[in-house]
């Protein structure tokens, strides 16, 4: 065997290319080919698991109680013995007896290779049996990502005991990310989340989706997250429930000194704007780079302005911020509301959805000048049928001042096509102008009369432009959408 095939890194690259959902047998065959292939191939096969079921199935059949099994879909079933893969497994309800040290001989080989566990869907007694009988704890010593789905947890034996068991299944110092989906009563959810700083203090990425809860519980959730010193990314969603109104209007009540000291990415989806404000006010990180705020029920521009004021009040964020995304339930945002965002001079992506902002050429000019590093600009108002104020001239500043621009998503009034001479001012980096690729996603309503003239104008401004037309669901927009598609076809035809 060539000496290069004795280098683990090279083998892993090869196995990653071989490995996909349809090629389990191929990789299994490689694992059986020789001793050099066996370890790396098994690492790839076992590194990402959808549940602990495949590990349970590796125990001797005689110690498993299959009398109450139910069919479930799993990513991987023990196929090293059969040479074939299947996505249909059987969920073992419990062990017939406690596994001995000898019974663990084979599962232990695989358990240490699991890096990602997407869900803990498994009978609580089975999990506890695994943890109690494991001869070399923790059960998953090299786990990096853990998914907890409490919708399927049987809590009859006590949820606190289940959580305590779960947190002993991995090495706290190695776990990097945690994903939690809770459909539990608030007391159990509160217990789980308040245990995170104690058992998962080192994690860097946290994804949490919960049923909306009483305000006092939400305050404790946020305080718990804020105390995690190494947390870099937080994705927090409160799903609407019958009790959602409990937290819809409430006073801010969170005191988190030096909270979220390391966070650089924040994504929140709440019914209550106040909850979003609580999190922003709790953040003491000076390196926040990306925020994604979704307030699908917020229609009050006053509340939105308070969010914007809080975001723009931090001097350090004006230097660190790279991406801002904001979705509301339909507000009436104005050009004045955007002025604060213009101070983020390193911004690379702005996404405003259903905010009611109507662009004009003056605002587009201000944006292009304020954000020289801008790559993507999305301004979408699918609920609005207001005529756009921005014209084709509004695109010219992006050619001059934004050499990295790659996507523009907006509505345009292209009724009048400017003279080509107006677009020939030298852009900031003329040497890159011909290589610059831009996708223009035209939202409706966008008026247009002369597709040939518009195509010529756009090609002169961005020689490698691609035009795409948003989906039309209004009968009155069929004609302009048809004409914009003609623009797209004309531009595409110039490249053939």
Residue 305 in domain: no
Residue 468's H or E segment, with its range, is strand 464-469
Cβ(338)–Cβ(350) below 8 Å: no
pLDDT at 484: 95
Residue 265 in domain: no
Q: For residue 433, give its domain range.
A: 389-496
Residue 463 in domain: yes
Give the integer Cα–Cα distance in Å for 93 and 76. Answer: 18
Helix (H, G, I), strand (E, B) or coil at 298: coil
Give the integer Cα–Cα distance in Å for 478 and 476. Answer: 6
Residue 99 in domain: no
pLDDT at 71: 46
Residue 146 in domain: no
Q: Number of folded domains in the chain?
A: 2
How far, rounded to the nearest angstrom, does the alpha carbon of residue 132 sit from its chain's CA centroid? 35
> Domain boundary residue among 30, 46, 62?
46
pTM of the model: 0.84
Residue 457 in domain: yes
Residue 3 in domain: yes
Residue 14's H or E segment, with its range, is helix 8-18
**CB-based burial of residue 375 (10 Å sphere; 0-12 exposed, 13-18 middle, 19+ buried)?**
middle
Chunked into runs of 10 residues, the chain (496 residues) has average pLDDT values of: 72 70 64 73 86 89 75 41 39 80 95 90 79 93 88 57 79 91 70 86 92 79 93 91 45 72 96 90 96 91 92 96 95 93 97 94 98 97 83 96 96 91 49 71 91 96 94 74 94 87
Residue 116 in domain: no
**CB-based burial of residue 82 (10 Å sphere; 0-12 exposed, 13-18 middle, 19+ buried)?**
exposed
Taking alpha carbons only, the member of 98, 120, 110, 160 closest to residue 140 is 110
- Beta 88-91 vs 70-73: how paired, if at all? antiparallel
């Amino acid at each position: 065997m060539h000496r290069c095939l004795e280098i683990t890194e090279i083998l892993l690259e090869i196995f990653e290319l071989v490995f996909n959902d349809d090629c389990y047998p191929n990789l299994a065959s490689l694992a059986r080919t020789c001793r050099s292939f066996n370890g790396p191939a098994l690492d790839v096969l076992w590194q990402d698991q959808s549940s602990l079921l495949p590990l349970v199935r590796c125990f001797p059949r005689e110690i498993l109680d299959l009398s109450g099994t139910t069919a479930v879909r799993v990513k991987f079933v023990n196929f090293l013995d059969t040479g074939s893969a299947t996505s249909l497994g059987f969920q073992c309800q419990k062990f017939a007896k406690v596994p001995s040290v000898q019974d663990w001989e084979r599962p232990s080989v695989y358990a240490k290779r699991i890096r990602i566990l997407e869900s803990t869907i498994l009978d609580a007694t089975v999990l506890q049996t695994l943890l109690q009988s494991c001869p070399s704890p923790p059960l998953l010593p090299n786990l990096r990502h853990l998914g907890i789905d409490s919708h399927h947890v049987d809590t009859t034996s006590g949820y606190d005991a289940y959580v305590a068991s779960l947190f002993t299944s991995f090495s706290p110092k190695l776990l990097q990310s945690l994903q939690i989906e809770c459909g539990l009563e608030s007391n159990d959810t509160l217990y789980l989340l308040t245990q995170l700083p104690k058992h998962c203090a080192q994690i860097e990425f946290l994804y949490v989706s919960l049923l909306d809860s009483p305000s006092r519980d939400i305050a404790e959730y946020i305080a718990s997250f804020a105390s995690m010193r190494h947390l870099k990314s937080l994705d927090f969603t409160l799903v609407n429930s019958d009790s959602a109104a409990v937290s819809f209007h409430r006073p801010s009540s969170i005191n988190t000194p030096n909270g979220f000291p390391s966070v650089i990415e924040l994504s929140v989806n709440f019914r209550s704007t106040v909850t979003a404000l609580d999190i922003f006010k709790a953040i003491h990180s000076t390196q926040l780079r990306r925020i994604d705020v979704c307030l699908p029920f917020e229609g009050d521009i006053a509340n939105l302005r308070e969010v914007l004021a809080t975001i723009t009040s931090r001097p350090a964020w004006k230097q660190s911020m790279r991406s801002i995304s904001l979705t509301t339930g339909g507000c009436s945002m104005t050009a004045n509301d955007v002025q604060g965002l213009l101070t983020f001079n390193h911004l690379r992506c702005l996404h405003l959805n259903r905010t009611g902002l109507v662009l004009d050429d003056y605002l587009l000019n201000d944006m292009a000048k304020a954000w020289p590093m801008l790559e993507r600009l999305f301004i979408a108002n699918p609920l609005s049928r207001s005529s756009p104020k921005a014209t084709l001239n509004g695109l010219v500043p992006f050619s001059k001042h934004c050499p990295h621009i790659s996507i523009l998503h907006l509505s345009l009034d292209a009724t009048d096509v400017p003279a080509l001479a107006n677009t020939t001012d030298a852009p900031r980096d003329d040497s890159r102008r011909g290589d610059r690729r831009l996708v223009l996603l035209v939202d409706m309503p966008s008026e247009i009369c002369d597709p040939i003239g518009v195509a010529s104008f756009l090609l002169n401004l961005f020689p490698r432009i691609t035009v795409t037309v948003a989906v039309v669901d209004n009968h009155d927009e069929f004609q302009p959408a048809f004409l914009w598609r003609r623009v797209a076809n004309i531009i595409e035809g110039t490249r053939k």
